Amino acid sequence: MPLVRFFETSFGRTTERRIVLVRVEADGFTGWGEVTCGEHPFYSDETPATAWHILREYLVPWSLGRNWATASEAATCFRPIRGHNMAKAALENALWDIEAQQKEMPLAKLIGGTQAEIPCGVSIGIQDTVEELLERIHVECEAGYQRVKLKIKPGWDVNVLERVRAEFPRLPLMADANSAYTLADGPRLKLLDQFFLMMIEQPLGGDDLLDHAKLQRQLSTPICLDESIHSADDARKAIEIGACKIINIKLGRVGGFTAACRVHDVCRVHRIPVWCGGMLESGIGRAHNIALSTLPGFCLPGDVSASRRYWPEDIIDPEVTVSSQGTIRVPQNPGLGYLPNLERIEKLTIRKELVE
Ligand code: OSB
Ligand code: MG
């Protein structure tokens, strides 16, 4: 699926997505899930090819013919497989879609969601010039989005934020470094305190919890962890050592709704605000993100925004739209609440396998 516009982070530029979808049929219902990994192993170690392999050789055979009462039993079954959370999430989340349809309730309600409308922000990638960035921020603010997240990296950070703050003094603003810094950059990151950011996301490595704790002690800007958190246990440890004050929850990164709800619960107990991150998902992953964002602890605007920001044409009907207040109304019909457009999906499909 070609993106409307390229998306650039500290680890590279994406112009089109290659997405593995999982479609499950059980008890006369059809459920859908999306593998949210990038095309290359830069954000995480998974790729569409590793997800295909793990699904085909392990997760699908382990699921066929099983008599599970709830989708979360799949999470228990998948536990012996180390890692590969995004492959696991795709299949488990498709089962959550089915469970919600069986129980005739919206997926949001099934997982314990309480919000009928969710607050939305946007994530704006690195641009070729600061002028282009300022123009993009204007467009998103006019559309009503409640906060803007900018991607930063060494060389595209302090100077850029200076210009953005000068033009948007009151904008709820944050920055995401996708692990582009090390603890040695502490003094440079300290300069970001002057911009009153809501948070700085994942400044250091995905395996650097301890260094994040050291950095957080040097900064007044709250640190939010993304890449570092793969489970509720990771969240507990990060909170305990003071590695972050906020957590971004992504369904794929933690391995599906069962784990995502657990991360949410741990954060809630410790009064750590959470929000839903994005992975440039198609409408299917986006629908799952919307359901997740309805849990009570999701009190900050997430990276869940309108289909048209990403796709000339999305693969669900209706596509996801955002109100002029910067919110998404959560669908009230059973399951995902959006219909996968089979014709469009078929047209975009370059590889397919049916396992019975
Ligand atoms: O770090 O949150 C991230 C996109 C791809 C990989 C990692 C990230 C992102 C985003 C975009 O920030 C979020 C979105 O708009 O889907
Ligand atoms: Mg991030």
Task: Give the model confidence (pLDDT) of 238-271 as tens digits.
Answer: 999 999 999 999 999 999 999 999 999 999 999 9
Tens-place pLDDT, residues 315-336 = 999 999 999 999 999 999 999 9
Q: Assess contact for 22 and 90: CB atoms under 8 A.
A: yes
Same domain, yes or no: 62 and 91: yes
Separation CA 138–CA 99 (nearest Å)? 41
Other beta carbons within 10 angstroms of residue 205's beta carbon come to: 16
Q: How far apart are the first and last CA of the chain?
A: 27
In a domain, 353, yes or no: no
Q: Is 57 found in the same domain as 206?
A: no
Active site annotation includes 250: yes
Classify residue 344: in a domain, yes or no: no
In a domain, 132, yes or no: yes
State the Cα angle at 248 between 244 and 253, rounded to 5°. Answer: 115
Tokens 């559309």 belong to residue: 143
Name the nearest CA neighbour of 240 among 266, 222, 277: 266
Q: Where are the alpha helices (DSSP H) in 200-244?
A: 209-218, 232-241
State the pLDDT at residue 227.
98
Ligand 1 within 6 A of CB of 278: yes
Pocket perturbation via mutation, ligand 1, pick of 1, 5, 6, 7 by most ligand atoms within 8 A of CB = 7
Atom in ligand 1 nearest the alpha carbon of residue 227: 1
Give yes or no: residues 165 and 274 share one domain. yes
Is there a domain that residue 350 lies in?
A: no
Residue 137: both structure tokens together: 């921020």
Assess whether the C-beta atom of 43 lies below 6 angstroms from ligand 1. Answer: yes
Residue 238 has a pLDDT of 98
One-letter amino acid of 187: P
Burial 94-129 (b: 16+ CB within 10 A, else e): bbbbbbbbbeebbbbbbbebeeeebbbbbbbbbbee
The domain that holds 97 is classified in CATH as 3.30.390.10
Q: What are phi and psi of 153, to 5 degrees?
A: -160, 165
What pLDDT digit, counting tens, does each position of 171-194 carry? Answer: 999 999 999 999 999 999 999 999
Please check whether residue 347 lies inside any domain of the structure. no
Mutate to test the pocket of ligand 1, among 4, 303, 304 (most ligand atoms within 8 A of CB): 303
Q: Whose CA is nearest to atom 12 of ligand 1?
A: 123
Residues in CB range of 305: below 8 A, 6 or more apart: 120, 121, 122, 123, 145, 278, 320, 322
Residue 121 pLDDT: 98
CA 86, CA 99: separation in Å to the nearest integer? 20
Q: Is-contact 322 304, C-beta < 8 A? A: no
Pocket test for ligand 1, best of 199, 204, 280 (most atoms within 8 A of CB): 280
Q: How many domains does the chain have?
A: 2
* Domain final residue, candidates 104, 126, 149: 104
**Are 186 and 331 in the same domain?**
yes
Helix axes 232-241, 257-269, angle to 10 degrees: 20
Q: Is the CB–ligand 1 distance for residue 14 below 6 Å?
A: no
User: In 3D, which of 6, 5, 35 has the Cα closest to residue 281?
Assistant: 35
In this structure, the answer to whether residues 75 and 114 fall within a common structural domain is: no
Is residue 168 domain-shared with residue 241, that is, in the same domain?
yes
DSSP 39: S
Is residue 160 assigned to a domain?
yes
CATH of the domain at 217: 3.20.20.120
Expressed in angstroms and rounded, the spacing between residue 103 Cα and the centre of ligand 1 is 32
The per-residue pLDDT for 108 is: 98
Residues 222 and 316 in one domain: yes
Name which residue sits closest to atom 6 of ligand 1, judged by CA.
279
Same domain, 145 and 287: yes
Positions in the chain whose pLDDT score sits under 50: none
Residue 145: closest CA among 35, 309, 288? 309
Residue 323 CA to ligand 1 centre (angstroms): 21
How many other CB atoms are there within 10 angstroms of residue 163's CB atom?
A: 13
Please report whether residue 155 resides in a domain. Answer: yes
For residue 29, what pLDDT is reported?
A: 98
Does 354 reside within a domain?
Answer: no
Ligand 1 pocket check for 279: Cβ under 6 Å:
yes
The answer to whether residues 114 and 257 belong to one domain is: yes
Q: Encoding tokens for residue 82?
A: 């180390």
Residue from 88, 149, 151, 153 carrying the catalytic annotation: 151
Buried b (16+ CB within 10 A) or exposed e, 245-269: bbbbbbbbbbbbbbbbbbbbebbbe
CA nearest 81: which of 64, 63, 66, 99? Answer: 63
Same domain, 62 and 145: no
- Residue 63's SS3 state is helix
Q: Give the domain extent around 235.
A: 110-339
59 and 137 in a single domain? The answer is no
Q: Looking at the structure, do residues 155 and 18 belong to the same domain, yes or no?
A: no
